[in-house]
A and B are shown apart, each in its own frame.
Chain A
Amino acid sequence: MKDPLDGRGRLRVRGFDGTDAAADTGEDADAAPTAATDRWRRAWKRFRRDRIAVAGLAVIGIMALLAVLARPIEVGDVVVQPFALAPYDPGASGIAEPYRPPSLSHPFGTDWAGRDVFSRVLYGGRYSLSIGAIAVTLALAVGVPLGALAGYAGGWVDETIMRLVDILYAFPFLVLAIALVATFGQGFWKLIGALVAVGWIGYARLLRGEVLSVVEREYVLAARALGVRDRHILVRHVVPNAVAPVVVQATLNVGTVVLSAAALGFLGLGLPPGTAEWGSMLSAGRDTLVGGEWWVTVFPGLAIFLFVLSINLVGDGVRLALDPETSADTYRGRGTRRDEQGGDR
């Protein structure tokens, strides 16, 4: 190595000969290569150790399975799902006497039109679950790009998007959804449209804040110094590092959206009357609260309760798993295995 100062004013160490040999190995002291694990896989590993969240996920899985298997599904004339767990057609009235209490043939009883409540609750999962999943996915699809753009571009783009968010925020969530449904009418996709229109603003605002902090990180500067395009930096470097809180929020929001759909259904603004949607069933059964036919409302209500509770448990689990601040102790405290955790952090 070139050394312009050689021999002048330099401290010398005598009797230590190993220096050159050690310096020339060219290897840093480091552990042996380990298998690559990425953040999401690590998060999944941590999530699996959270028993309560896994239980919630299992409940959701079972409910989804029941909803899918409730009645056969036909695409065109082809039957793609032949099972029928629900004993009766959820829409068929007059199967039995109206307001029969739970019995062996009708485990959840029958409603005012003599429809089988058990079949309707099973089938209703299709509406509630798909509304939750689709509305949140679409809201993410709108909110994430807009939030990312606002945070990264700044200036008038940011102003425009965020002022729109502020305006939408000024309306109470449910009131706005009611207004939209009242304006555009009822129906599955219109209901979802209303829920998306009020749902995306939260994600956009959350992601914008995260993006503002992530663009200050040095790897973003490093990417710019490498001559990477802005679009590429935003999509590949900024959003993946900023999206975790939004994912958590979205998971928790599935429950809220299902509740809102149920609330709209209860107000008679959800799906068309008579649809076997949990909220609509509650609404249709509200007269029975006085009459004492508790089974008409209790079972759909329980279904909503169970689903929203499970979603919230899962959402909490996702938050803990994605939060780098969560210490290993949190998981140990939940009676989980203690190995591997140290290596992850």
Chain B
Amino acid sequence: MALLEVEDLVVRFYTEGGVVRAVDGLSYTLDRGERLGVVGESGAGKTAAALAVLGLLDESGRIEGEIRFDGESLTAADDDRLRAIRGGRIGTVFQDPEAALNPVYTVGEQIAEAVRAHTDRDGAAARDRAVALLDRVGIPDPATRADQYPHEFSGGMAQRALVAMALAGDPDLLIADEPTTGLDVTVQAQLLELLDDLATDDLAVQLVSHDLGVVAEFCDRVLVLYAGQAVERAPVDALFYEPKHPYTAGLLRSVPRIGDGRDRLSALSGTTPDLSAPPPGCRFHPRCPYAEDACTKHDPPLAATDDSGVHHAACLAYTGDLSGELTFSVDVIDDDGGPDGGDPR
């Protein structure tokens, strides 16, 4: 049984501008120790889906569908049960580490608070555990650091402290919402290394990110969201080298690469649709170079793209309703191994 099963999740926000379907019919599963990347543009529903799992949406957000964690329905759970699961079994790391730490308490105290909430440790024992957690996430001199305030931490250290806090209840699943955004690349690499290290201890990670590089480096499987719907689901290799959905191909094409010699950055034309009035049929069709008449009428389901059964894409090309063909392909421009190569990493 999968650790996390999300079935047909719909998140609606009732706003003055109408009903916004931020997440529309999303289904995915996550196994123990697995790393799932969730990618998409801003407003694709990545964060709304993550918050829905935790039951942390604003009052204006309504959830439909089924979310099961370790076989237990989270949509049916009462507040007390949800509170025990949050932090206890599902840890969360947010995007802006400095904003996610309360400025008036020491970092150690905030971690100890999480420890107290989910274990029977108290007082000095909770503090000791907080220091041990800071040590676990690789903060040097953790005993001194525990007594410092968030403003005395750098961004990278604050993010580590947040990871320590998320680990306080010894969770089975870590939901990391854009954990590396806003950190410089060396600190990003260190944080990913830390998450990688944690994930080898059988911790499942749902990494929400718009950074394809980070996802490529870290995840086992990737879920691509567009306008609240999953458009492609695939193992990470397959997604990057054989993208099946035009949107994924467009995303990959727009990633700037060092030394690639293009004069202009390519971008997907158009913008993400207004989710209170999404386009009919396939939601990507207004921006899709392969769009046909059929695309404006039929909303494609997530269908298997080959016989392996692990690579799915939501495009009419895979249901046989598209008369044309998807002609994009990925070329590997830099081959491996030269005479003086050395260590490529």
Are the chains A and B members of one assembly?
yes
Whether B236 sits at the interface, judged by CB under 8 Å, is yes
Which A residues touch B240, using CB under 8 A? 5
Whether B122 sits at the interface, judged by CB under 8 Å, is no
Whether A21 sits at the interface, judged by CB under 8 Å, is no
Q: Is the CB of B138 within 8 A of A26?
A: yes
Q: Is the CB of A1 within 8 A of B196?
A: yes
Given known pairs A2-B196, A11-B257, the reply for A219 and B99 (CB within 8 Å) is yes
- For B34-47 the 0/1 string (1 means CB < 8 A from A) is 00000000000000
Whether B162 sits at the interface, judged by CB under 8 Å, is yes
Q: Which residue of B lies closest to A220 (CB)?
A: B102
Whether A337 sits at the interface, judged by CB under 8 Å, is no
How far is it, in angstroms, between the C-alpha of A236 and the C-alpha of B117 when the chains are bound? 14
| A4, A9, A23, A226: the one within 8 Å of B236 (CB) | A4
B251 smallest CB distance to A (angstroms)? 16
Whether A30 sits at the interface, judged by CB under 8 Å, is yes
A339 smallest CB distance to B (angstroms)? 19
Which A residues touch B330, using CB under 8 A? 9
Whether B289 sits at the interface, judged by CB under 8 Å, is no
Which B residues touch A1, using CB under 8 A? 192-193, 196, 217
| A14, A217, A237: the one within 8 Å of B340 (CB) | A14
B60 smallest CB distance to A (angstroms)? 12
26 cross-chain CB contacts under 8 A: A1-B193, A4-B236, A5-B217, A5-B240, A7-B344, A9-B333, A10-B334, A10-B336, A14-B341, A20-B345, A26-B138, A27-B140, A33-B152, A36-B147, A37-B149, A217-B99, A219-B103, A222-B92, A222-B162, A223-B113, A225-B86, A225-B92, A226-B114, A227-B86, A227-B114, A236-B113
Whether B326 sits at the interface, judged by CB under 8 Å, is no
- For B71-97 the 0/1 string (1 means CB < 8 A from A) is 000000000001111111000101110
Question: Which B residues are closer than 8 A to A by beta carbons?
Answer: 54, 56, 82-88, 92, 94-96, 99-106, 113-114, 117-118, 138, 140-141, 144-145, 147-149, 152-154, 156-157, 162, 165-166, 168-169, 186-187, 189-190, 192-193, 196, 216-217, 220, 236-237, 240-241, 257-259, 330, 332-334, 336-337, 340-345
Which B residues touch A17, using CB under 8 A? 342
Leading 9 A-B pairs by shortest Cβ distance: A227-B87, A226-B87, A7-B336, A225-B92, A227-B86, A9-B332, A218-B99, A222-B100, A28-B156
Q: Is the CB of B152 within 8 A of A28?
A: no
| A4, A19, A28, A236: the one within 8 Å of B345 (CB) | A19
| B86, B103, B114: the one within 8 Å of A39 (CB) | B103
Whether A163 sits at the interface, judged by CB under 8 Å, is no
Whether A103 sits at the interface, judged by CB under 8 Å, is no
Q: Is the CB of B54 within 8 A of A225?
A: yes
- For A17-45 the 0/1 string (1 means CB < 8 A from B) is 10110110011111001101111000000
Q: Is the CB of A240 within 8 A of B196?
A: no
Q: Is the CB of A28 within 8 A of B102?
A: no
How far is it, in angstroms, between the C-alpha of A345 and the C-alpha of B10 when the chains are bound? 44
Whether A221 sits at the interface, judged by CB under 8 Å, is yes
Q: Which residue of B lies closest to A39 (CB)?
A: B104
A84 smallest CB distance to B (angstroms)? 45
How far is it, in angstroms, between the C-alpha of A225 and the C-alpha of B177 when the chains are bound? 12
Q: Is the CB of B102 within 8 A of A241?
A: yes
Whether A224 sits at the interface, judged by CB under 8 Å, is yes
Q: Is the CB of A7 within 8 A of B100?
A: no
| B87, B118, B140, B342: the one within 8 Å of A225 (CB) | B87
Q: Is the CB of A36 within 8 A of B106?
A: yes
Q: Is the CB of A8 within 8 A of B336?
A: yes
Q: Is the CB of A30 within 8 A of B217?
A: no
Whether A340 sits at the interface, judged by CB under 8 Å, is no
B58 smallest CB distance to A (angstroms)? 10
B240 smallest CB distance to A (angstroms)? 7
How far is it, in angstroms, between the C-alpha of A87 and the C-alpha of B92 when the chains are bound? 69
Q: Which residue of B lies closest to A38 (CB)?
A: B149
| A11, A34, A223, A240: the one within 8 Å of B104 (CB) | A240
Which B residues touch A8, using CB under 8 A? 241, 332, 336
User: By CB atoms of chain A within 10 A, which of B83, B85, B145 has the most?
Assistant: B83
- For A31-70 the 0/1 string (1 means CB < 8 A from B) is 0011011110000000000000000000000000000000
Whether A74 sits at the interface, judged by CB under 8 Å, is no
Which A residues touch B145, using CB under 8 A? 33
How far is it, in angstroms, between the C-alpha of A225 and the C-alpha of B89 when the chains are bound? 11
Q: Is the CB of A33 within 8 A of B148?
A: yes
Given known pairs A28-B157, A30-B157, A221-B100, the reply for A23 and B189 (CB within 8 Å) is yes
- For A116-139 the 0/1 string (1 means CB < 8 A from B) is 000000000000000000000000
How far is it, in angstroms, between the C-alpha of A88 and the C-alpha of B203 when the chains are bound? 79
Given contacts A1-B196, A226-B113, 4 further A-B contacts (CB under 8 A): A9-B333, A17-B342, A219-B101, A227-B169
Which A residues touch B149, using CB under 8 A? 36-38
Which A residues touch B342, using CB under 8 A? 14, 17
B253 smallest CB distance to A (angstroms)? 13
How far is it, in angstroms, between the C-alpha of A10 and the C-alpha of B88 when the chains are bound? 39
Q: Is the CB of B56 within 8 A of A221?
A: yes
Q: Is the CB of A227 within 8 A of B157?
A: no
A1 smallest CB distance to B (angstroms)? 5
Which A residues touch B189, using CB under 8 A? 23
B65 smallest CB distance to A (angstroms)? 20
Q: Is the CB of B157 within 8 A of A12?
A: no
Q: Is the CB of B88 within 8 A of A227?
A: yes
Whether A228 sits at the interface, judged by CB under 8 Å, is yes
How far is it, in angstroms, between the C-alpha of A34 and the C-alpha of B145 when the chains are bound? 9
Which A residues touch B165, using CB under 8 A? 222, 226
Q: Which residue of A lies closest to B88 (CB)?
A: A227
Q: Is the CB of B103 within 8 A of A222?
A: no
| B54, B117, B237, B334: the one within 8 Å of A11 (CB) | B334
Which A residues touch B86, using CB under 8 A? 224-227
How far is it, in angstroms, between the C-alpha of A234 and the C-alpha of B333 when the chains are bound? 55
